[in-house]
Amino acid sequence: MPIMDFLTRNANTYGTELCLTEINMDLQESHNVTWLEYELIENNPAGEYRRDMTWKVFNEKANRMANLLLKRGIKKGDKVAILLMNCLEWLPIYFGILKSGAIAVPLNFRYTAEEIKYCLNLSDSIALVFGPEFIGRVESVYNDIPQVKLLLFAGENRPSFAENYDRLTANCCSDEPEIAISDDDDAVIYFSSGTTGFPKAILHTHASLMSSAITEQRHHGQTRQDNFLCIPPLYHTGAKMHWFGSLVAGSKAVLLRGVRPEWILKTVSEEQITIVWLLVPWAQDILDAIERGELKLEDYKLDQWRLMHIGAQPVPPSLIRRWKQYFPNHLYDTNYGLSEAIGPGCVHLGVENLHKVGAIGIQGHSWEAKIVDESGCPVENGQVGELAVKGPGLMKCYYKDHEATQAVLRDGWLFTGDMARKDEDGFIYLVDRKKDVIISGGENIYPVQIEDFLRAHPAIKDVAVIGLPDKRLGEISAAIIELKPDMECSEEDIRTFCAPMPRYKRPRAIVFDEVPRNPTGKIEKPRLREKYGAVSLVAAQTGS
């Protein structure tokens, strides 16, 4: 069963009910008006602050998109790319591509023009739907993507080199396209984070999409009464696959454009949100704002908020302990996943396992997980090895990269490149990325362990630990520390704080700087290595 059948079912069963709301906080604040006042503004050239969509309209828009593609010669198996910010058009376009039998190719909205060109060419995309934020980037590579025969522009002030998505789809039939699609048909190409160079193209089937939807709904128990707040980018597997739980349940969701703590709590309150998926920095910002007195919880209606879950990166236990102080009634879950395993869920903590905070959890619904040594043999509990997962959501391959596929897919298992250990109860703890492990003087140092320790410091907002070259030890550990606003801290303060750690784990270099993260919340360690790798930090090593 393809996942589009859920959309058709919802349109037939709950057609007049709202399913998606887009809220643009930047737009509201730019006009300095209240929510209700904004709805009264006429002829606003910047667009609308709040937009709603019913299940019936959602399905009709997806069908119109599918029929437009078919009318323009797009065939089953052709690739159609999406380059949009989160917006109300995003999901209908995505589902329209799937309904046409074509393969959807979501693109990272932070891609440079060169990366856009690279991904379009690598994926063999022959059509692209893009928004106003990307006119300049698309125009600059227009002559270098000759295989892209159809350029659709979603927005106002259409550039001359593209066609109007709204006008063309409005003139297309809203009936279901008669395209036979099986679970084994190719469905989507997602791109890896690209933290080690240009991203890889990850090909998934319709069976993968369906497995992610079922897994998400089983893990978090979405019902018709839930309302999911979606903040992370839809181009990534994380946000979309969590929304799939709402699709299965036929429940509402809100797309929030903006991540300020006050915006998140205001939306939760006004929209009666019940489920929120946060990234670590956003949860940290909310707690910091509460503790600075900038947010007062009594100003918001939050009793209906039942679940807060986090994914995309290791979660410091100290963060969740702080969260529960202010939100004691929240269920909490953490989700581990990767695009090669169709996003979150192959391992998850489970809301019933709060006593195991710090672990990424156990194997998810319909998944298997094991920790293995270099030869692929399982290691004993407590020992560090590479995490491997197996389940119905595994990628088919890295598109057009047989060698890379063979390196990670072996005997039906995906070798994730993440180092982990398992405790006596079977719970898995992420230690670090295999490529991020620091080998200093023959000792393996796992940056995540040091980062978790340092995040307990009251002045630290964020931290990244990286390895830097050292003539004597091979590598040394360097802590890049981002302080909370208006907080002061010295290197000596950090060294004193780290004194309880084993000597070899203490960071040899300490640098105060911003910690860069990508849109999915992952620390961009290659950027930090490039920035500091050639810098002499010998002076900072003294006293370590």
Q: For residue 281, what pLDDT is reported? A: 78
Parent domain of 310 = 306-433
Q: Is 280 among the domain residues?
A: no
Q: Is 461 among the domain residues?
A: yes
Residues written for the chain: 544
Residue 152, beta-bridge partner list: 129, 163
Question: Are 120 and 62 within one domain?
Answer: yes
Question: Are 82 and 222 within one domain?
Answer: yes
Question: Are 43 and 135 within one domain?
Answer: yes
Question: Are 412 and 446 within one domain?
Answer: no
Question: Are 312 and 344 within one domain?
Answer: yes
Query: How far apart, in whole angstroms, are the C-alpha atoms of residue 107 and residue 82?
Result: 6
Is-contact 245 220, C-beta < 8 A? Answer: yes
> Which domain CATH number covers 231?
3.40.50.12780
Question: Are 384 and 482 within one domain?
Answer: no
Q: Is 291 among the domain residues?
A: no
Token pair for residue 471? 């003539």
Q: Is 177 among the domain residues?
A: yes
Query: How far apart, in whole angstroms, are the C-alpha atoms of residue 397 and residue 121?
Result: 17
Q: For residue 521, what pLDDT is reported? A: 67
> Which domain CATH number covers 352?
2.30.38.10
Query: Which CA distances in Å does 33 have to 36, 295, 309?
Result: 8, 20, 32
Token pair for residue 531? 């920035």
Q: Is 339 among the domain residues?
A: yes
Query: Which CA distances in Å does 172 have to 64, 65, 126, 165, 166?
Result: 5, 8, 20, 11, 10
Given 433, 462, 480, which residue is the final one in a domain?
433
Which residue carries 């007049």 as its tokens? 16
Q: Is 278 among the domain residues?
A: no
Look up residue 378 and give its DSSP letter: B
Q: For residue 544, what pLDDT is reported? A: 41
Q: Is 330 among the domain residues?
A: yes
Q: For residue 258, what pLDDT is reported? A: 85
Q: Is 285 among the domain residues?
A: no
227-230 vs 252-257, strand pairing mode:
parallel
Question: Are 374 and 484 within one domain?
Answer: no
Given 415, 433, 451, which residue is the final one in a domain?
433
> Which domain CATH number covers 457?
3.30.300.30
Burial (CB count <10 Å: 0-12, 13-18, 19+), residue 117: buried
The one-letter code for the residue type at 297 is L
The pLDDT profile of the chain, 544 residues, written as one tens digit per residue, is 899 999 999 999 999 999 999 998 765 444 443 333 333 333 333 345 889 999 999 999 999 999 999 999 999 999 999 999 999 999 999 999 999 999 999 998 888 899 899 999 999 999 999 999 999 999 999 999 999 999 999 998 999 999 999 999 999 999 999 999 999 999 999 998 654 457 899 999 999 999 999 999 999 999 999 999 999 889 988 889 999 999 999 999 999 988 899 999 999 999 999 999 998 878 988 998 999 999 999 999 999 999 999 876 667 788 899 999 999 999 999 998 889 999 889 999 999 999 999 899 999 999 999 999 988 899 999 998 999 999 999 999 999 999 999 999 999 999 998 889 999 999 999 876 667 778 776 567 878 888 888 988 989 998 999 888 876 666 788 999 999 888 889 999 999 999 988 787 889 889 999 988 876 667 888 788 878 875 444 434 434 4
Question: Are 427 and 494 within one domain?
Answer: no
Domains identified in the chain, total number: 3
Question: Are 138 and 94 within one domain?
Answer: yes
Question: Are 209 and 350 within one domain?
Answer: no
Given 398, 433, 468, which residue is the final one in a domain?
433
Nearest to 5 by CA among 247, 365, 241, 342: 247
Question: Are 155 and 239 within one domain?
Answer: yes
Q: For residue 520, what pLDDT is reported? A: 61
Task: Map residue 33 onto helix, strand or coil.
Answer: coil
Question: Are 313 and 387 within one domain?
Answer: yes
Query: How far apart, in whole angstroms, are the C-alpha atoms of residue 107 and residue 116?
Result: 7
Neighbours of 110 (CB within 10 A): 11
Q: For residue 48, what pLDDT is reported? A: 56
Q: What is the DSSP string of 340-389?
A: GGTEEEEEE--TT-GGGBTB-BEE-TT-EEEEE-TTSPBPPTT--EEEEE
Is-contact 161 144, C-beta < 8 A? Answer: no
